């Protein structure tokens, strides 16, 4: 009897240990299995009432994460593959760095991609919602509810810190020198080492100089941090501001969109923003995309999906839109670029930014008067002469003619030759600064 009791005790102990190991390493009560989704990335049709909130590009494929633990990989061939995800919690942000994908979400969720490609839950030690995740100087950072900040050296084990704000941190981005965070209450936080933070409030610091606003999203582009916001008194009007370190802020002018003022255009809400070459692309409500150029009069708004689009990611000549209803849409970047430019901006780009003005009219038209400093390449000679006279494909080219038709044809020829920063000024009669 003693031997039997001792044996039963040992077996019971082993069973408890096995259960504890399973309990501590299990996924959430429900996990999402992998498989191919019944959705076409090209069509942009969704398959549910949830949403994709974040998108990223890993140099080969697009990724999207969203509600209910939905995580998808979208190939450049527009195939959407649902990933096996160890959580049903909502996922809010993605981070791709050094060959590893990290995703953060509600209830302290962080999942990371292991070396064999599977996704595992990280040990975060918190149940606070994590709304943003990034990489700074070789370490991972995640932030969110109540000003919580987590740090990790490997993406698997995280340490908890507190930022000098009590509001939810909704954006966290980094470049080589600066880590930057924002809250909806117009707080912005700046760190040069990931440890010491400077806390500011935009509305308080610019009181009397700028209209009070609400911050909505944050994106790093090169040396600058771009913040999308809305006016407190008129939330139908979006703002796009940028800064390098929080000391000096500039606004992106949007005098007109599709030739209309904001009062003529109607309500517009921007959810996220990105940069392609020299233009900003913002994802908006009702499936609309806003292309913002350096020309304040030339901004373009178009409809590209049937639902709100919450995030975007840029790949090789294509971009992914992710949004409401688990909508995914892969579109060509050239379809959302804006190619028009006004004389004032053309003159500024010519004088200050190295742009080349190109007259594509005939020899007789050129001799009768042309814009000072312009290069004369008749339309019929664009294919042969443009690569010889302007070999650098990243040069900004501004074409003009008599009415705008030949200059549009020249623009398309230049684009086929590999030039990307191409604009159509239109007809020479619209040039207000004199001719020679």
**Catalytic machinery residues:** 401
Tokens standing for residue 64: 């999207």
Which are the contacts of 335, defined by CB distance < 8 A and separation ≥ 6? none
Dihedral sign for Cα atoms in the order 425, 426, 432, 434: positive
Confirm if 147 and 181 have CB atoms less than 8 A apart: no
41 CB-contact burial (10 Å; exposed 0-12 / middle 13-18 / buried 19+): buried
Which are the contacts of 280, defined by CB distance < 8 A and separation ≥ 6? 226, 240, 252, 273, 274, 291, 292, 293
In angstroms, the CA 132 to CA 296 distance is 31
| DSSP annotation string for 259-305 | TB-HHHH----EEEEEEETTEEEEEEGGGEEEEE-SSTT-BEEEE--
123 CB-contact burial (10 Å; exposed 0-12 / middle 13-18 / buried 19+): exposed
Confirm if 221 and 275 have CB atoms less than 8 A apart: yes
CA 349-383-367 angle, to 5 degrees, is 65
């Amino acid at each position: 009897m003693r031997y039997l009791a001792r044996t039963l005790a040992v077996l019971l102990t082993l069973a408890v240990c096995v259960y504890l190991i399973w309990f501590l390493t299990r996924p959430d009560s429900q996990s999402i299995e992998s498989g191919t989704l019944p959705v076409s990335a090209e069509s942009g049709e969704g398959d549910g009432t949830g949403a994709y909130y974040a998108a990223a590009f890993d140099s080969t494929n697009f990724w999207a994460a969203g509600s209910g633990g939905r995580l998808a990989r979208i190939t450049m061939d527009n195939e959407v593959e649902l990933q096996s995800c160890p959580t049903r919690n909502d996922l809010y942000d993605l981070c791709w760095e050094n060959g590893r994908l990290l995703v953060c979400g509600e209830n302290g969720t962080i999942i990371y991609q292991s070396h064999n490609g599977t996704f595992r839950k990280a040990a975060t030690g918190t149940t606070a919602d994590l709304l943003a995740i990034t990489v700074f100087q070789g370490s991972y950072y995640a932030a969110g509810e109540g000003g919580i900040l987590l740090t990790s050296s490997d993406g698997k084990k995280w340490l908890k810190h507190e930022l000098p704000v009590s509001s939810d941190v909704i954006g966290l981005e980094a470049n080589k020198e600066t880590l930057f965070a924002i809250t909806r209450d117009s707080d912005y936080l700046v760190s040069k080492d990931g440890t010491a933070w400077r806390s500011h409030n935009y509305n308080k610091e610019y009181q009397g100089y700028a209209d009070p606003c609400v911050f909505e999203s944050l994106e790093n582009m090169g040396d600058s941090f771009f913040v999308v916001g809305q006016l407190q008194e008129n939330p139908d009007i979006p703002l796009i501001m940028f800064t390098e370190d929080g000391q000096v802020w500039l606004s992106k002018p949007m005098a007109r969109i599709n030739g209309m003022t904001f009062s003529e255009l109607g309500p517009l809400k921007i959810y996220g923003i990105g940069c392609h070459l020299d233009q900003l692309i913002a994802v908006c409500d009702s499936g609309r995309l806003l292309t913002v150029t350096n020309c304040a009069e030339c901004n373009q708004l178009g409809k590209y999906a049937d639902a709100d689009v919450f995030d975007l990611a840029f790949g090789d000549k294509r971009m992914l839109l992710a949004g409401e209803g688990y909508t995914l849409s892969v579109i060509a970047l050239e379809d959302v670029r804006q190619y028009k430019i006004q004389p004032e901006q053309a003159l500024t780009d010519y004088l200050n930014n190295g742009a080349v003005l190109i007259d594509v009219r005939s020899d007789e038209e050129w001799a009768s008067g042309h814009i000072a400093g312009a290069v004369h390449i008749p339309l019929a000679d664009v294919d042969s002469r443009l690569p010889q006279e302007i070999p650098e494909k990243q040069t900004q080219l501004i074409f003009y003619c008599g009415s705008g038709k030949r200059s549009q044809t020249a623009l398309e020829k230049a684009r086929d030759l590999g030039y990307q920063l191409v604009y159509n000024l239109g007809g020479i009669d619209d040039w207000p600064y004199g001719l020679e």
